[in-house]
Copies of this chain bind each other. A is one copy, B any other.
Amino acid sequence: MFTYHTTVQLHQTDAAGILFFGRFFFLAHDAYQAFVESHGLGFAKVLNEGEFLLPIVHAEADFKAPLQVGDKVAVKLRTESVGDSSFVLAYDLVKLDGSSAGTVKTVHVWVDRKTFAKQPLPDWVRRALTANQVK
A56: which B residues are within 8 A, CB to CB?
21, 63
The minimal Cβ–Cβ distance linking A109 to chain B, given in whole angstroms, is: 10
A48: which B residues are within 8 A, CB to CB?
17
Number of identical protomers: 4
B17 engages A10 (CB within 8 Å): no
The minimal Cβ–Cβ distance linking A41 to chain B, given in whole angstroms, is: 10
Give the CA-CA distance A43 to B67 in the complex, in Å: 13
B59 engages A61 (CB within 8 Å): yes
6 A-B contacts, Cβ less than 8 Å apart?
A9-B26, A10-B16, A17-B48, A21-B59, A57-B63, A58-B63
Besides A15-B44, A44-B71, A58-B61, 11 new A-B residue pairs in contact (Cβ under 8 A), listed by A number: A7-B34, A11-B29, A17-B47, A21-B29, A22-B29, A33-B70, A37-B70, A44-B70, A55-B66, A59-B60, A60-B61
